[in-house]
Amino acid sequence: MNKIVEKLRSSGGISDSELKLLIECKSPEVAEFLRKNADEVRQLHYGKKVYLRGLIEISSYCKNNCYYCGIRRSNSSAHRYRLTCEEILGCAENGYKLGFRTFVLQGGEDAYFTDELLCPLISEIKRRHPDCAVTLSLGERSEESYRLLREAGADRYLLRHETADEELYRMLHPTPMSLENRKKCLYTLKKLGYQVGSGFMVGVPFQTTEHLIADLRFLQELRPHMIGIGPFIPHRDTAFSVEEAGELNLTLRLLAILRLMFPTALIPATTALGTIAPNGRELGLQNGCNVVMPNLSPVAVRKKYDLYDGKICTGEEAAECRVCLENRIKSVGYEVEISRGDAIDLYK
Ligand code: SAH
């Protein structure tokens, strides 16, 4: 098994059957060998640095109905809110003082956030904080919209493909959503010059190892700058409420595999990973992750951006999250990096 890890590290090229063995391997020794290799590769390119992204959750309204998600349209128990432009600028201001140089505006697909509203908002964030990157994570929009947002100053876009298997995609997303459109959006974003992030959930209902291999193969084709993966976690008001959450060790193996396949990618240790295990994000960092995304949303709305049950960090002020994460990063021997942290683009 260690031979497969070495092969993956030296060339990135391994067969589907080898990937399957690695993904399914339960041996703690192999997991440790994989981890060690992923950490070495990460340190080769990024040293001990961990980049910070300040997450601003701008809306819990969503027109989509993804079966796994707590803010899906049909969840009548969901608490809906949207931040005003002044509130979003306030979050960025606060984040800037705390040392953040990337702001991620994330939300459900909310028609209220038109291009007419977002473009001046993005320009204003960039005007006030010219040394910062603006990342958007607002779901599927038209090419024209992505173009206008880019022209207004947006630098990056996060849009997980969620699963690269057509059939599984349909089991997780009712019509009119489609994998085809998801992929189209991702290629459009790349074409428009965004630094693009994609990714998938680990352990969603009906997911097999073959599906995970398809996810890795799709990422090889897309070549995103950032890759976000995290365990699926059930939400009480969804059809998947009684399903099991994705496994910690499987997620960690996949993170390490991603680091070996995509040596220079920016890979976050996600909040979902920190939710399924108290030290999940620290373990993520040790398995190849080099980004964390602390929450800058106003405390009053935090609990309402309720994608899955038990989400951590919903009670603390931004400043507390910042200190807490810095301590967690240091506790495993890494260091916080205060800079925009753009992707090293070796893909061109
Ligand atoms: N509307 C935006 C943002 C979605 S929320 C978009 O479409 O990209 C960000 C991510 O949270 C999603 O891409 C999904 O992968 C993840 N997510 C949603 N529900 C989840 C759940 N129940 N468990 C774990 N992750 C979830």
Domain spans, the chain: 28-339
Q: Residue 228 contacts by C-beta under 8 Å, 6 or more apart in sequence?
A: 158, 160, 197, 198, 199, 267, 268, 270
Asked if 232 and 204 count as a contact pair (C-beta separation under 8 A), the reply is yes
> Ligand 1 centre from 10 Cα, in Å?
33
Asked if 204 and 68 count as a contact pair (C-beta separation under 8 A), the reply is yes
Q: Ligand 1 pocket, 200 CB below 6 A? A: no
Up-side HSE of residue 60: CA atoms within 13 Å toward CB?
21
CATH code, 28-339? 3.20.20.70
Which amino acid does the sequence have at 257? Answer: I
Beta-ladder partners of 135: 104, 156
Q: Ligand 1 pocket, 72 CB below 6 A? A: no
Q: Residue 267 contacts by C-beta under 8 Å, 6 or more apart in sequence?
A: 226, 227, 228, 229, 255, 258, 259, 288, 289, 290, 291
Q: Ligand 1 pocket, 68 CB below 6 A? A: yes
Asked if 82 and 117 count as a contact pair (C-beta separation under 8 A), the reply is no
> Ligand 1 centre from 70 Cα, in Å?
9
Task: Give the position, in ligand 1's atom list, of the atom nearest the Cα of 62.
Answer: 1
Query: Has this prediction a pTM greater than 0.75?
Result: yes
Which amino acid does the sequence have at 72? Answer: R
Distance CA 303, CA 230 (A): 19
Q: Cα separations (Å) of 238 from 20, 68, 272?
A: 30, 6, 17
Given ligand 1 and candidates 63, 106, 160, 227, which is best to mutate, with the most ligand atoms within 8 Å of its CB? 160
3-state helix, strand, coil in the chain (%, to 5): 45, 15, 40
Q: CB count, 10 Å around CB of 30? A: 17
Tokens 């950032």 found at: 226
Q: What pLDDT does residue 347 have? A: 47
pLDDT 10s digits, 138-149: 999 999 999 999
- What are the tokens at 89? 């600028």
Along the chain (348 residues), what's the average pLDDT of each consecutive run of 10 residues? 93 90 97 98 97 97 98 98 98 97 98 98 98 98 98 98 98 98 98 98 98 98 98 98 98 98 97 98 98 96 96 91 95 96 70
Closest CA to 273 of 331, 217, 218, 328: 328
